[in-house]
Amino acid sequence: MSQDRTEPSSERATRGALMGAEVAEQPDVWARLLDRADQPDGELAAAAALIGRRRPRFVQFVARGTSDHAALYAKYFAEIVLQLPCGLVSPSTMTAYGAEPDLTDVLMIGVSQSGGSPDLVTTLERARAQGALTVAVTNNPTSALAQAAEAQIDIAVGPEKAVAATKSYTGQLLALYLLLDRVRGGDGAAARRLPEWGTALLGRDDDVAELAQRYRFASRLVTTARGYSYPTASEAALKLMETCYLSAQAFSGADLLHGPLAMIDPQVPVLTVVGDGIGGRAMGQVLPRLSELGADVFCVGTPDAVAAATVGIALPDGVAEEVSPLLEILPFQQLARHLALFRGGDPDAPRGLKKVTETL
């Protein structure tokens, strides 16, 4: 899949143009969503009020693919901030096996860019019939998933034409943060500067393109992080697999220190997320071990963490850990796009993939 180094940059720019535009659009998407979140009679306020009245004792999230990583982020938030037990639903238990669990006092949140996956729709419908309070987070307010839920939040990121989800992912992250923060009585203050920070971080696209060259001939790599950043590692691995056709495995930093560490060597790049917070500090156990093994470490994180890695991109100062994942994923989206182009692929339309995958 490697391409000739002499290919004109103008030809590379044609491929991947959709993904590039959608990555760049994200700060504007966030600004619009933040404005809508301030509306006292908006759907986000209504959903938060409904959750507050029902006072669920357990939260379940149902999603697939990229949206599953957004749901995993929300699971961390709900467990840490709302201090509610949470779980990620296996849709097949209801759709294929016909399970009908008692879901009284359960909040089930369905997360889907299209809102059209039959297994997610069926799961939300059956959960509602079994007593759950159901909420849909989608980019399509008229979708079957939105109609199946008692409340829905439209992330309103606009059409996403590239197959690889970018702006819809961070739109989901922000919508879930704003919803759950409002449930705890917050005003979304930690997210207010995200459009500003995101614009500055995306301005380093040329730096990321240069770094992408070093991984042009990689056949496999590992991504790792802890806490709120672990979903970022999972989403980064997915973006690299679907756009660059390489094997990418995501591990919690804690899990990496067990058996998977044995596969790390100088030929297996490791992409790490080391933000400013508890999860980032927990990665302090991981980084020295990677160094001992001679790993090539690409780090998105604090300036100190980046300085200790092989290469990396530093995050802005002052970002709260609970909203940092919206920024952390941006360099990885850029990396996936540039690496796909250098390897001769088209990240707008990866082979064999469709924008919406229907599962039963």
Give catalytic residues, as residue numbers: 355
**Residues 247 and 267: beta-carbon distance below 8 Å:** no
Owner of token pair 């044995």: 262
Give the bridge partners for 154, in sequence order.
Answer: 138
Topology of domain 38-191 in CATH is Rossmann fold (3.40.50)
Q: How far apart are CA 270 and CA 261, in angstroms?
A: 11
The pLDDT of residue 10 = 53
Do 38-191 and 194-342 fold alike per CATH? Answer: yes
Chunk the chain into consecutive blocks of 10 residues (it has 360) and report each block's average pLDDT, rounded to whole numbers: 46 82 98 92 94 97 97 98 96 92 97 94 96 97 96 95 95 98 96 98 98 95 98 98 95 94 93 97 94 96 96 97 98 97 91 56
**Residues 251 and 224: beta-carbon distance below 8 Å:** yes
Q: Is 158 exposed, middle or buried (0-12, 13-18, 19+ CB in 10 A)?
A: middle
From the candidate CATH numbers 3.40.50.800, 3.30.70.1140, 3.40.50.10490, 3.40.309.10, the one assigned to the domain spanning 194-342: 3.40.50.10490
Domain chopping of the chain, boundaries: 38-191, 194-342
